[in-house]
Structure 1
Amino acid sequence: MTFKTRRSLLAFPLVLALPRAFAHGDQHPKAAAPLVKEQKPWGIAAEPAKSKRTVDIRMTDDMKMSPNHIDVREGDTLRIRAVNAGKMLHEIVIGTGDELKAHAEMMKKFPKMEHDEPYMAHVAAGQRGEIVWTFNRPGDFEFACLIAGHFEAGMRGTIRVTPKA
């Protein structure tokens, strides 16, 4: 037996163990990252305990979000619960119309891009995700699924934040 053959035989058990080692890492839940509170034109992330109102947005494979419009008063903290009633991955992202359009274009180029911003939630089929957000600036904003093709198919809605009285 040559040195090269012996080295291959020794490495073979390691090759068999590698898929298990990597798969094992997927079995544990990821630790929750600390909430990043960065002011955006449409508001700022909030702690779940601050939410006084919850809106369920149902996402379906016919590329619809229901409801597709939300009214909010400036200063309100809202829990947006994204309910994926479909069989494919969907997401919900809050932003300005221009930012969402630009991001949707980027998603076409990088469809496997993962999101971890507090104004975004990836939601697997049959699951729920949520965004807790304080809308501290008045204006008209949007929410959408930016997975390649979903935005273009009309999977989006609007948020109107009315000024404090």
Structure 2
Amino acid sequence: MKIQHLLAAVLVAIGSTAAFASGNHAGGHGNEDSAIGKPGKAQQVTRTVNVDMTDNMRFTPASVEVKQGETIRFKVKNSGQVKHEFVLGTEQELKEHYQAMLKNPEMEHEDPQMITLAGGKTGEVIWQFTKAGKVDFACLQPGHYDAGMKGAVTVAKSGAKVSATKAGAKADGHADHAH
């Protein structure tokens, strides 16, 4: 291999690693309307769903139902002691992102469809679900996805009924509504 080709290959490898390390993921969700929706605006939140992440590698609830067009505030709490994250995406996107996290476990990133939380911390993700279907969520910290730390949001077509209990009822049985 000629030295120029070798140098070019090294530069490409360094550039792609830097992009992952800085959290600039190709195919990120930014502000476009992707397969899973788009970042929501706080003033358009129609409902709050409380999500708990634990060190037993589970989300509670692990399934959520929303209506197409709804903007949801996910209030996410890490009840565990180790770092966890809540990441919305397609199953394919989550698997690809997880593989990148395995290769770069200290990768720091901030995207509107996710939040990373240290043990005991809380945060939120505001997301608008613009398309009917299934949107997955997972913790992509190394080992967590493989341990089963994942869930799904079922997005019902506009006009379809969504049950209150599956729609993200709080621990006291009452769903939060923001108007």
Q: TM-score range by the shorter chain?
A: 0.7 to 0.9
Amino acid at match of 1:148: P
Deviations 1:115-156 (A, max 9, x none): 211001011110111110000111111100000100000001
Matches within 5 A, 1:1-150: 36-150=30-144
Please tell me whether residue 151 in structure 1 is matched to residue 145 in structure 2. Answer: yes
* Identity over aligned pairs, percent: 39
**Size of the alignment, in residue pairs?**
130
| Preserved CA contact (<8 Å) 1:86 1:125 | yes
Shift of 1:38: 2.2
Structure 2 length-normalised TM: 0.71
Structure 1 moving runs of 4+ over 4 Å: none
| Preserved CA contact (<8 Å) 2:67 2:157 | yes
Distance 2:31 2:97 in 1: 20
Distance 2:34 2:118 in 1: 26
| Preserved CA contact (<8 Å) 2:33 2:130 | no
| Preserved CA contact (<8 Å) 2:46 2:72 | yes
Shift of 1:86: 0.4
Greater fraction helix = 1
Structure 2 residues not aligned, in runs of 5+: 1-29, 160-179
Residue aligned with 1:107, SS: helix
Amino acid at match of 1:80: F
Amino acid at match of 1:74: Q
Structure 1 length-normalised TM: 0.76
Structure 1 residues not aligned, in runs of 5+: 1-35
Residue aligned with 1:82, SS: strand
Residue aligned with 1:105, SS: helix
Residue aligned with 2:52, SS: strand
Distance 2:97 2:80 in 1: 23
| Preserved CA contact (<8 Å) 1:37 1:46 | no
Distance 2:60 2:35 in 1: 24
| Preserved CA contact (<8 Å) 1:140 1:159 | yes
| Preserved CA contact (<8 Å) 1:141 1:159 | yes
